[in-house]
């Protein structure tokens, strides 16, 4: 959010985003260069075409995950309002030359600051749903994320939900959290015949994250809890998606700081069996499918999302290579040598049922009240 980059870096990112649309098998039919003015249309009061029953707002829509969600929403026939925070974000969209005028390609933009409830309310007004994918990233610092960022992320989450509640048209919100909000706990049971299951009922321990300087995990945990507190007892349907480390084409450049922050403590996660990845296309589809299932009350609560669990040091070394970060394989090599079963086992059964089932279900099949552990 608001990270300044060099012109060369931004241009490279724009080219990767364009390539992802045209050559990566992604992109809705409407995502094409316009024959007219290249300016992206800004939604303003009185723009009747910018709102409707299938109009949704996406915060952080040009981030790695947000961009994929916007693409998937367009594929599903939604009109998307992008909530942009900086002029740099708007300039990036204009350079992409993907959107036509007056929102005819299904995308509108509006400037909104996630720390300012009034600007969020204006951005959300007229939308039936909100996808909050925006996140704080600090490019300075070794992990790419700081304690201060964690605090800001929780504040932003609360204000986004408050704006959703305040906005009469908004009925649903899908909140992008992280698997890290589920896996970092202390005082786990050690004497068990099998691994401990980690699912949507599990919450990371904020004190443990704070004591071990796991700031990214702390931020995601605190932000998701803040969102649930703000939504409790309100006329708003909230669902959170907790993806593992998000990968996919171009993730090294477009998601590097978040990836490096995610991997802090990766040696422990690898040993415990909870280091996992999720392709960005899977994450985007999960968001849209969950959102649509909320409409008939067949989705609710939290959803863990991942494609692959990294179990061997060699796999982790390859991930480090793709990210261009110094290899720590030697420090984790003993995990393989011990040949011990992992203490924990990730479970995504809840999302799997939702993604694959064709039967009609009741809300109670999927929903259970969110509790903090």
Domains of the chain and CATH, by start: 52-357 (3.40.50.720)
The predicted-structure confidence for 14-46, as pLDDT tens digits, reads as follows: 555 555 544 444 433 333 333 333 334 444 443
Mean pLDDT value across residues 208-232: 96
Q: What is the mean pLDDT of residues 347-355?
A: 95
User: In Å, what is the CA distance from 365 to each residue of 144, 300, 353, 354, 355?
Assistant: 39, 9, 10, 10, 14
- Condensed to tens digits (0 to 9), the pLDDT of residues 148-187 reads 889 999 999 999 999 999 999 999 999 999 999 999 987 6
Q: Is the pLDDT of residue 360 over 80?
A: no
User: What per-residue confidence (pLDDT) applies to 255?
Assistant: 66
What CA–CA distance (Å, rounded) separates 27 from 67?
A: 10
pTM summary value: 0.81
> pLDDT, tens digit, for every residue of 91-115?
777 766 555 444 446 888 899 999 9
Residue 194, H or E segment: none
pLDDT (tens digit, 9 = 90+) per residue, 252-271?
Answer: 776 677 888 899 999 999 99
User: How far is it, in rounded angstroms, from Cα 259 to Cα 143?
Assistant: 9
- Which of 358, 355, 305 is closest to 175 using CA atoms? 305
Q: Which member of 41, 92, 172, 220 is catalytic? A: 220
Task: Compute the half-sphere exposure of residue 215: CA atoms within 13 Å on the CB side of its CA.
Answer: 21
Q: Which of 357, 175, 346, 184 is nearest to 277 (CA)?
A: 346
Tokens 């999927």 correspond to 366
Q: What would the mean pLDDT of 47-72 be, rounded to a whole number?
A: 81
The answer to whether residues 204 and 185 touch, using CB atoms and an 8 Å cutoff, is yes
Distance, in Å, from the CA atom of 301 to the CA atom of 129, rounded to the nearest integer, reads 16
Torsion of CA 60, 260, 218, 5, to 10 degrees: -40
Residue 172 annotated in active site: no
- C-alpha 310: how far from chain center: 20
> pLDDT tens across 268-313, in order?
999 999 999 999 999 999 999 999 999 888 899 999 999 999 999 9
State the Cα–Cα distance between residues 355 and 286, nearest whole angstrom: 7
Q: Percent of the chain at pLDDT above 70?
A: 70
Of 249, 354, 358, 238, nearest to 301 (Cα)? 238
Between 67 and 15, the higher pLDDT residue: 67
Of 130 and 368, more confident? 130
The whole-chain average pLDDT of the chain stands at 79
Percent of the chain exceeding pLDDT 90 equals 53
For residue 252, give the nearest of 302, 193, 322, 157 by alpha carbon: 322
């Amino acid at each position: 959010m608001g990270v300044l980059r060099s012109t060369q870096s931004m241009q490279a990112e724009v080219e990767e985003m364009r390539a992802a649309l045209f050559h990566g098998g992604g992109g809705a039919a409407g995502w094409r260069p316009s024959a007219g003015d290249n300016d992206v249309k800004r939604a303003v009061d009185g723009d009747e075409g910018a709102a409707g029953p299938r109009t949704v707002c996406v915060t952080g829509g040009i981030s790695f995950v947000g961009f994929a969600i916007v693409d998937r929403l367009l594929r599903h026939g939604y009109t998307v309002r992008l909530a942009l925070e900086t002029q740099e974000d708007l300039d990036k969209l204009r350079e992409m030359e993907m959107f036509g005028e007056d929102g005819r390609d299904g995308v509108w933009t509006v400037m909104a600051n996630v720390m300012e409830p009034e600007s969020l309310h204006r951005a959300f007004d007229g939308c039936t749903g909100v996808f909050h994918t925006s996140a704080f990233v600090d490019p300075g610092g070794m992990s790419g994320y700081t304690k201060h960022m964690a605090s800001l992320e929780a504040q932003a989450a609360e204000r986004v939900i408050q704006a959703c509640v305040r906005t009469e048209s908004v009925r649903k919100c899908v909140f992008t959290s992280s698997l890290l909000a589920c896996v970092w706990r202390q005082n786990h049971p050690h004497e068990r015949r099998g691994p401990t299951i980690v699912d949507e009922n599990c919450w990371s321990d904020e004190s443990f994250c704070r004591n071990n300087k796991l700031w990214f995990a702390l931020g995601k945990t605190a932000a998701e809890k803040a969102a649930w507190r703000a939504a409790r007892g309100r006329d708003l349907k909230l669902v959170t998606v907790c993806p593992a480390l998000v990968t996919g084409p171009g993730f090294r450049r477009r998601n590097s700081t978040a990836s490096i922050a995610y991997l802090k403590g990766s040696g422990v996660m690898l040993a415990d069996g909870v280091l996992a990845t999720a392709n960005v296309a899977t994450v985007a589809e999960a968001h849209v499918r969950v959102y649509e299932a909320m409409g008939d009350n067949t989705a609710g609560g939290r959803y863990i999302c991942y494609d692959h669990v990294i179990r061997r040091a060699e796999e982790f070394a390859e991930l480090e290579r793709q990210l261009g970060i110094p290899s720590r394989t030697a420090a984790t090599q003993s995990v393989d040598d011990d040949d011990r079963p992992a203490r924990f086992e990730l479970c995504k059964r809840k999302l799997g049922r939702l993604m694959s089932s064709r039967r009609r279900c009741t809300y109670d099949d999927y929903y259970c009240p969110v509790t903090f552990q």
